Amino acid sequence: MKKNWSIKRVLQVLFFVVVCVLIHRFCHHQTGGFSIAKIRSNHAIHPEWITPPLSEQERQELDPLLNQPFKFFGYGGQAYVFLSEDGNVILKLFKQHHMRAPEWMKLIPLPKPLNKVRNKFITRKERNLTLFFNSCKIAYDRFKDRTGLIYLHLTPTTDLNQTITLIDKLGIAHQLDLDHTDFALQYKATLTKKHFLRLKKNNDIEAAKNSIDSLLALMVERSQQGIADRDPNLRRNCGFIGNKALEIDIGSYTPNEDLKISFISKTDVYQKSFQLKRLISKIYPELVPYLEENLQAILNVEI
């Protein structure tokens, strides 16, 4: 009897756990995992992350973009993505709960072995946050034109005086004070694969050639700027506005002055071109010779 009762209790606990997991997954699917609490920023001011004050002209250009609602569009590993009402602008709100250790974790007294584990976890979180924000700042300061960035806000301010309306996946409206929110504002781009598929469908070979040229130029320009990319995923992290290639992922940059050396720069461009060649081989195989010819031309000149 006691054994049967124990088995019954175990099954009840397992059933409860399964139900909780299913409810959590259902809620995550319905909301995209988004909540205001997950994007709330409470860190101190970091001078190295401060965006220079906007000029009067820049402010006049920015205000109309922010004076419209932004609707939930998707999410990645580092941010929730919202699309402007006019469909032209992306607002990225960073996942603070992924990038920071919760405050309660720092307060709980633990035995020495567990305290070491906790400290390593907190240190790793802080290091990842620093790498990510440093990357965003590099993108904004040194590669703005090739990332489609319009504005970047990584530390608390008092001069934006801007509240925007977010519409979450459930259709619920939220008001967000941007002075106390970390975010990036970018022009919306079409992902690389989708862009070339559309050009192939329309048989627009000249636009496809221009797009290949722009992607190769993008790789060269990044090297010339001394910027390394830790996650050079062409399909997921690059896109197009018209036929201009952009790197829409701004979270994987690190400075590398060695890339300004011609040989190293050419090696970097050559390695990065493998993904482009695979993509063109599948979608636009007749343009592979064009790609190889233009790549070779880049490798034969002094970068």
Number of neighbouring beta carbons within 10 Å of residue 5 = 9
CB environment 181-220: b (16+ within 10 A), e (fewer): bbbbbbbbbbbbbebbeebbeeeeeebbbbbbebbbbbbb
Q: What percentage of the chain exceeds 70 in pLDDT?
A: 89
Q: What is the pLDDT of residue 113?
A: 83
> Is the sign of the CA dihedral 158, 163, 164, 170 positive or negative?
positive
Structure tokens at 34: 């988004």
SS3 181: coil
The mean pLDDT of 14-36, rounded to a whole number, is 57
More confident residue, 274 or 100: 274
Q: Measured between alpha carbons, how far is residue 77 from residues 37, 95, 98, 99 in Å? A: 17, 8, 9, 10
pLDDT in tens, 31-43: 568 999 999 887 7
Q: What is the pLDDT of residue 18?
A: 54
Q: Please compute, for residue 51, the number of CA atoms within 13 A of its CA located in the half-sphere on the CB side.
A: 27
> Where does the pLDDT of residue 86 fall: very low under 50, low under 70, confident under 90, or very high at 90 and above?
very high
pLDDT at 283 over 60: yes
Q: What is the pLDDT of residue 88?
A: 97
Q: What is the pLDDT of residue 104?
A: 77
pLDDT in tens, 117-174: 888 888 898 899 999 999 999 999 999 999 999 999 999 998 889 999 999 999 999 9
Structure tokens at 282: 């599948």
CATH architecture of 190-300: Orthogonal Bundle (1.10)
pLDDT in tens, 203-224: 999 999 999 999 999 999 999 9
pLDDT at 276 over 50: yes
Q: Which helix (H) or strand (E) holds 253?
A: strand 253-255
**What residues does each domain of the chain span?**
36-187, 190-300
Least confident of 46-60, 164-178, 181-195: 46-60
pLDDT at 270 over 50: yes
